């Protein structure tokens, strides 16, 4: 073989190797589709997706709680014989939870935003701000002098890092919704999708940011003021395809930038997080049980430096909320500043004591683990976006704010301007489904007519005089709670409050009572057990119930995908 043929052979060999290498690289390239082989994020257009996403960013205020299985309910003697927390095995997906309870300072930031955006001096907006205000009168006691808390606890800097109280379940849910929008607004601004400082300088009652609106109708956020999201005014570099179309103007869920919603934790999440069982884990089993968020059977510290000090803020006996002067067992008489006691193994503070906390669930005396033992939650009410005739989503305007008068006469805003109006799901979503068949599932399998297996006795709704209520039907609902009403006098506009005086009521439970967990500064040691569960009307507030937020985890169960199994 002469030299020319050898050189030609070498060149052909090099070309073949190069092509093979390119082919190999292409097949392993994360920007190449394994479904079609097409390029993802091609400059010419096509499918756009965040192929560099690693894991969910921990949102402000939260800590990671790795999910797992555990025994929910009482594992100690039930001396009160409540029988509403029978032990049952549950599995919880990984999630995030607030490191501390929501504080007065955090809640005041929410009130400040509402006051700036919806000035209470304007009649159309007054109920928005007023409906979000905590009830400071919860501190009053007919035989106690607590006016200093009534006047100062919410706003004085001396209580700034204390947990907020006087907040109803409904108000806590609205705070979580507001927090979701503000955090996602910040994320999008940092990523260059929104102009700098738009969240402060360019917003008003009809020009606010809402996460779901941005996802479903991005050009309609900020009241349709697209100058705040236009690439001409942002730091975002967009791509122009060969056909002249632009891509990457708006962030989508596929970018991974938009955070899941802040929300109240479910009861099973709260109890699992409070227990912090990781310190008892040995390989794939728990080597013991826990009575409190900390290890051991006692409420006092055994550490030499702080020996004898209480590990939580609770009532230690009649007339004893904090020990004698100079020896304050728990360092507080009412609530205490957050982070004053050791966190549990998940890094969560005050999961026992300080204030009890709202959770998302509707209360029922049983947890129906026979039906479900994965991410258990009672309270699902499925809705969908309202759609206009032209196929676009219905966005609430300043003239369409939805207010709701609660049974106690308090008026709260349900839908704010800029949000997408919600309606119950219908047959379009439920027809021939096996996993759900209606919008409201709060009383599923709890004795209602559709799901009852044993409960047969029925009754007819009557008024306080024993007369049958017109239009009321015979029902087998298990929970026959009082039905108070608030109406408005059409001539004067004055609220008329009417108590339900029927003597045929058999329960205080209905679909509007929510679970709250954990002991508080006002409770005895018995209630510090994370398994304890109590309930309170979702429209009412107290001086001992606060809340913290949670957020779902998307993606892997563990933060470290290569975590050792033991």
Q: Is the pLDDT of residue 396 over 60?
A: yes
DSSP 329: S
Buried b / exposed e across 488-503, counting CB within 10 Å, b at 16+?
A: eeeeeeeeeeeeeeee
Helix H or strand E encompassing 485: strand 485-488
Q: What is the mean pLDDT of residues 68-96?
A: 87
Domains of the chain: residue spans and CATH: 62-191+257-378+511-552 (3.90.1580.10)
Residue 4 pLDDT level (bands cut at 50, 70, 90): low
Q: What is the pLDDT of residue 453?
A: 39
Answer positive or negative: Cα dihedral of 350, 352, 354, 359.
positive
Q: What is the pLDDT of residue 28?
A: 40
Number of H helices, E strands in the chain: 9, 20
Q: Which residue has the higher pLDDT, 197 or 100?
A: 100
Nearest to 520 by CA among 364, 324, 330, 361: 330
DSSP 212: H
Look-up: residue for tokens 């004053």? 340
Assess contact for 551 and 322: CB atoms under 8 A. Answer: no
Could you tell me the two tokens for 78? 């039930």
Q: What is the mean pLDDT of residues 348-356?
A: 96
Q: What is the pLDDT of residue 476?
A: 47
Beta-carbon contacts of residue 454 (< 8 Å; ≥ 6 apart): none
Q: What is the mean pLDDT of residues 293-303?
A: 81
Reported pTM? 0.88
Q: Of the ranges 26-35, 209-218, 397-406, 483-492, which is most confident?
A: 209-218
Q: Which residue has the higher pLDDT, 97 or 83?
A: 97
What angle is formed at CA 316 by the lines to CA 310 and CA 321, rounded to 5 degrees? 90
Look-up: residue for tokens 């009890």? 356
Q: What is the pLDDT of residue 280?
A: 66
Q: Give the Cβ contact number of residue 148 at 10 Å.
A: 10
Q: Across all residues in the chain, what is the average pLDDT?
A: 86
Q: What is the pLDDT of residue 462?
A: 55
Residue 287 pLDDT level (bands cut at 50, 70, 90): low
121-162, pLDDT tens digit by residue? 999 999 999 999 999 999 999 999 999 999 999 999 999 999
Q: What is the mean pLDDT of residues 535-539?
A: 96
d(CA 234, CA 183): 18
Q: Is the pLDDT of residue 110 over 60?
A: yes
Question: Within its chain, how far is the Cα of 55 from the centroid?
Answer: 20
**DSSP code per residue over 489-519:** -TTT--EEEE----TT---S--TTEEEEES-
Q: Is the pLDDT of residue 20 over 80?
A: no
Per residue, the 3-state secondary structure of 290-311, as one string, reads: CCCCCCCCCCECCCCCCCCCEC
3-state helix, strand, coil in the chain (%, to 5): 20, 20, 60
Q: Which residue has the higher pLDDT, 516 or 51?
A: 516
423-435, pLDDT tens digit by residue? 999 999 999 999 9
Q: Is the pLDDT of residue 232 over 70?
A: yes
Residue 238 pLDDT level (bands cut at 50, 70, 90): confident
Residue 297 pLDDT level (bands cut at 50, 70, 90): confident
Lowest mean pLDDT among 25-39, 225-239, 256-270, 290-304: 25-39
Q: What is the pLDDT of residue 236?
A: 76
Q: Give the Cβ contact number of residue 537 at 10 Å.
A: 19
Assess contact for 181 and 189: CB atoms under 8 A. Answer: no
């Amino acid at each position: 073989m002469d030299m020319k043929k050898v050189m030609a052979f070498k060149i052909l060999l090099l070309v073949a190797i190069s092509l093979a290498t390119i082919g190999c690289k292409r097949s392993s390239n994360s920007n190449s589709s394994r479904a079609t082989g097409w390029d993802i994020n091609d400059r010419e257009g096509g499918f756009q997706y965040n192929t560099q996403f690693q894991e969910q960013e921990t949102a402000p205020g939260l800590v990671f709680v790795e999910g797992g299985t555990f025994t929910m309910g009482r594992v100690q003697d039930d001396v009160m014989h409540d029988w509403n927390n029978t032990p049952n095995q549950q599995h919880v997906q990984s999630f995030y939870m607030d490191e501390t309870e929501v504080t007065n300072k955090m809640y005041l930031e929410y009130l400040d935003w509402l006051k700036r955006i919806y000035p209470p001096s304007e009649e159309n907006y007054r109920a928005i701000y007023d409906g979000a205000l905590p009830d400071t009168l919860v501190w009053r006691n007919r035989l106690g002098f607590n006016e200093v808390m009534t006047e100062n606890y919410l706003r004085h800097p001396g209580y700034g890092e204390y947990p907020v109280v006087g907040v109803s379940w409904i108000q806590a849910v609205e705070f979580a919704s507001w927090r979701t929008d503000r955090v996602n607004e910040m994320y999008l601004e940092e990523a260059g999708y929104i102009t700098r400082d738009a969240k402060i300088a360019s917003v008003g009652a009809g020009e606010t940011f809402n996460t779901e609106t941005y996802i479903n109708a991005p050009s309609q956020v900020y009241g349709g003021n697209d100058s705040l999201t236009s690439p001409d005014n942002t730091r975002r570099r967009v791509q122009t395809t060969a056909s002249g179309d632009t891509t990457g103007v708006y962030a989508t869920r596929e970018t991974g930038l938009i955070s899941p919603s802040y929300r109240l934790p479910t009861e099973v999440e709260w109890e699992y997080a409070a227990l912090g069982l990781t310190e008892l884990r040995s390989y794939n089993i728990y080597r013991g049980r826990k009575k409190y968020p900390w290890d051991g059977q006692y409420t006092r510290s055994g550490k030499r430096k702080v020996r004898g000090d209480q590990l939580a803020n609770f009532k230690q006996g009649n007339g004893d909320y904090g020990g004698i002067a100079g020896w304050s067992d728990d360092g507080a008489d009412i609530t205490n500043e957050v982070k004053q006691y050791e966190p549990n193994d998940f890094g969560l503070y005050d999961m026992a004591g300080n204030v009890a906390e709202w959770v998302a669930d509707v209360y029922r005396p049983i947890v129906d683990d026979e039906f479900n033992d994965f991410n258990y939650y009672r309270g699902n009410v499925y809705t969908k976006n309202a759609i206009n005739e032209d196929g676009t989503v219905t966005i609430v305007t300043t003239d369409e704010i939805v207010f709701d008068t609660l049974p106690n006469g308090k008026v709260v805003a349900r839908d704010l301007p800029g949000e997408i109006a919600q309606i119950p799901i219908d047959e379009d979503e439920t027809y021939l489904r096996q996993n759900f068949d209606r919008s409201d599932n709060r009383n599923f399998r709890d004795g209602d007519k559709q799901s009852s297996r044993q409960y047969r006795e029925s009754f007819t709704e009557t008024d306080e005089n024993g007369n049958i209520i017109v239009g009321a039907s015979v029902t087998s609902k298990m929970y026959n709670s009082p039905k108070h009403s608030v109406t408005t006098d059409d001539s004067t506009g004055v609220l008329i409050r009417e108590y339900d005086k029927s003597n045929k009521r058999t329960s205080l439970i209905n679909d509007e009572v929510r679970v709250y967990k954990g002991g508080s500064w006002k409770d005895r040691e018995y209630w510090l057990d994370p398994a304890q569960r109590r309930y309170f009307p979702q429209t009412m507030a107290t001086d001992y119930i606060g809340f913290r937020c949670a957020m779902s985890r998307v993606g892997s169960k563990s933060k470290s995908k290569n975590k050792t199994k033991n």
